[in-house]
Structure 1
Amino acid sequence: MNTFTRRGALGLVGGAAALPMLGSPALANEKMTVGALRFTSHAASFVAFERGYFAAEGLDVEFKFFQAAQPMAVAIASGDADYAVTAISGGLVSLAEKGATKVIGGALSEEKGIDGQKILASNAAFEAGLTSPAALAGKNFAVTQVGSSFHYMGAKIAEAEGVAVKYKPLQKVGAIIGALKSGQVDAWSIVPHIAKGLAGAGAVQIIGNVADYIPNYQVTTVFTSAANAANERAKTEAFLRAFSKGADDFNAALVDKTAGDDGATEMVKLIHKYVYADRPYEKAEKSIRNGAMRINKNAGLNMESVQDQLGWMKSEGLIKDSITSDVLVDPSYAPVI
């Protein structure tokens, strides 16, 4: 986990806001820590930072980077981070039940026609017959933690195929990649910039698409502490406005491709500061472009998908049957889609 900060007021630049803003920002140098993973799917925050959208809202942002969703949720609950993007997990719901966290919007989504998350097999498993998700019976499916988004995806895929799989918690994405490469686990599902990069290098095999099993899946959400959601409305709305402008720019450049070739290249170079930063641009560019999935406009939240995820967690005994979406979500900030 590490941090990265940038200060100083930058001029307001283009992009549609989730919420109206008139005149000067109401906040001034409001310090804020934003949790993130070094994934293309977190690009809206990176764009908002680099293009001055946070600064224009009066927000002095510092990033804190994590290697899995659940530790990020704990950081929000403890006050070590103020806002973040993460998948819905059993841990996040449990923290919401304790009054510690609230989902305030949606981020990454599976969308028909957009190349999304991939289902992967290790080379060893593929050679032994795991050439499609239908052959997952009895295989080891990698997850970070029990109740994570990886667990949810694996369960939905297995249910659709009518097979039983074994889940292997490995805590961190890096550990999963190493285990998949070495054949210690058989299968996994992950965002395309990682999946295609691994497959292109010959380290794994792509055997399916998550969207075929979970259409319109709300992959990640925007969330904060329950205290921020309830008591820091101006700051929370300012964060969402800046985040939404970053999402608009990202979608235009790499998803809808309406920003032109130069706009797409500029966006890839911006994201490269955070994603695959340890690789030369020439080696990182293709993977970043491959990772472009829709980030919801105005942080809209797909409540049908949220309800499905909560229902699965209840069926697995991961959360209490009494928990409703109201426990997890504050619907007053972003539109429901």
Structure 2
Amino acid sequence: MLKRTLRLAALFALVLLLPGLALAQPKEKVTISALPFISTAPIFIAKERGYFDAEGIDLDIKIFNAAQAVAVAVASGDADFGITAFTGGFFNLAGKGALKVIAAQSREEPGYNFVAYVASKKAYDAGFRSPKDFAGKSVAITTVGSSFHYNLGMLADKYNFKLDSVQMKPVQSIPNMMAALSGGQVDATILPANNALKLEADGAGKIIGWVHEHTLWQLGALFASSKIVKEKRPLVERFVRAYQKGLADYAAAFLAKDSQGNRMIGEKALGLMPALEKWVQPKPSIDTVKIAANYMDPQGRLLVKNIYDQVAWNQAQGMVDKSVNAADFIDLSFIKGHLDIPKK
């Protein structure tokens, strides 16, 4: 009887210890490649607020200076996840089976500044005042097939000028784009708001318009290596949950507007500024964020058909292989309620 009692006591003690043992399990190390922009804010917020830690994820953020480098890092195995804008290079890598799109990042939405058209001071003084007038101008972009290239393509289609009438100068990174404009090497460039506002404040350029005023599109996404989606689905689910919490905080702090359409920036926004100040470059102020916090769906839902359209446009330009099919690399199963899904 005594032995049985002792066995039961030992078993009971073990049961009591199990939760502690579970909590003591090491977090899974995960790497995400990203750009140091406000568009990556949900990741920065989720990391700094411990949302990834709560999901058992030890997140390392690798910062790059161009979207294509973010995608290459995931495709090469240097990162498990990535978050950035779509590019022709991204679509080619995804088409080869390397990447899976799993959630939305930024999109151009009416009334939310994100990407700006910026003229050099010289070009502005000479009369370059509208994005309708890019024909004949020289423009700094990161790479051929970049989101900036696509922005120009959408403008050309909308305002009936030939894309090849624009002299695009690939300079590989956003800091180089800023330097090219401020150094007088180009007439214009296209920049995320935080960078564009800095150039304007420095007197090196003039913002002549915002992308959302002319063309709307699903600019970026959260994506993962196809290998991790296939082999570690529970990890991806946990990652997406943490990301969605960061998205919800971001939306509550920065996207609310009053009846006149003005941003309602208050205590919630101030509470998130330390996370943005730590990661975003150039370092943002609350006034900058009030102007430049871009739209992201609070649940991470994609505008799916628009991604199909982007692939088709890049294929028509000869920048994406004709065999690439968006349906093969978009995984809609991690988030419910994606928008504008093409009918099969």
Give the shorter-chain TM-score range. 0.7 to 0.9
Q: Normalising by structure 1, what TM-score?
A: 0.86
Task: Give 1:95 deviation, angstroms.
Answer: 1.0
Match of 1:50 in 2: 48
Moved over 4 A (4+): 257-260
Match of 2:303 in 1: 302
Question: Does residue 236 of structure 1 match 2:263?
Answer: no
Task: Give 1:328 deviation, angstroms.
Answer: 2.8
Residues 100-249 of structure 1: pairs in structure 2 closer than 5 A: 100-163=98-161, 164-215=165-216, 217-249=217-249
Match of 1:61 in 2: 59
Match of 2:272 in 1: 267
| Partners of 2:114 and 2:250 in 1: CA distance | 15
| Partners of 2:329 and 2:142 in 1: CA distance | 21
Match of 2:316 in 1: 315
Task: Give 1:294 deviation, angstroms.
Answer: 1.7
| Partners of 2:166 and 2:42 in 1: CA distance | 34
Unaligned runs of 5+ in 2: 1-21, 258-262, 340-344
Deviations, residues 230-251 of structure 1 (Å, cap 9, x unaligned) = 2211111111110110011011
Deviations, residues 134-159 of structure 1 (Å, cap 9, x unaligned) = 22111112211111101000111122
- Cα contact 1:44–1:250 (8 A) shared by 2: yes
Query: How many equivalent residue pairs?
Result: 308
Report the aligned-residue RMSD: 2.0
Unaligned runs of 5+ in 1: 1-23
1:251 maps to a residue whose letter is: A
Compare 51-60 and 292-301 and name the one that shifted more: 292-301
Task: Give 1:78 deviation, angstroms.
Answer: 1.3
| Partners of 1:255 and 1:112 in 2: CA distance | 12
Compare 91-100 and 235-244 and name the one that shifted more: 91-100
| Partners of 1:161 and 1:189 in 2: CA distance | 17
| Partners of 2:107 and 2:206 in 1: CA distance | 23
Percent identical pairs in the alignment equals: 37
1:182 maps to a residue whose letter is: G
| Partners of 2:155 and 2:90 in 1: CA distance | 22
- Cα contact 1:197–1:287 (8 A) shared by 2: no
Task: Give 1:259 deviation, angstroms.
Answer: 8.5
Deviations, residues 217-271 of structure 1 (Å, cap 9, x unaligned) = 1111111111112221111111111011001101111121698622211212221
| Partners of 2:192 and 2:114 in 1: CA distance | 7
| Partners of 1:55 and 1:313 in 2: CA distance | 38
| Partners of 2:129 and 2:111 in 1: CA distance | 23
- Cα contact 1:125–1:183 (8 A) shared by 2: no
Structure with greater Cα Rg:
2
Q: Normalising by structure 2, what TM-score?
A: 0.84
Task: Give 1:297 deviation, angstroms.
Answer: 2.2
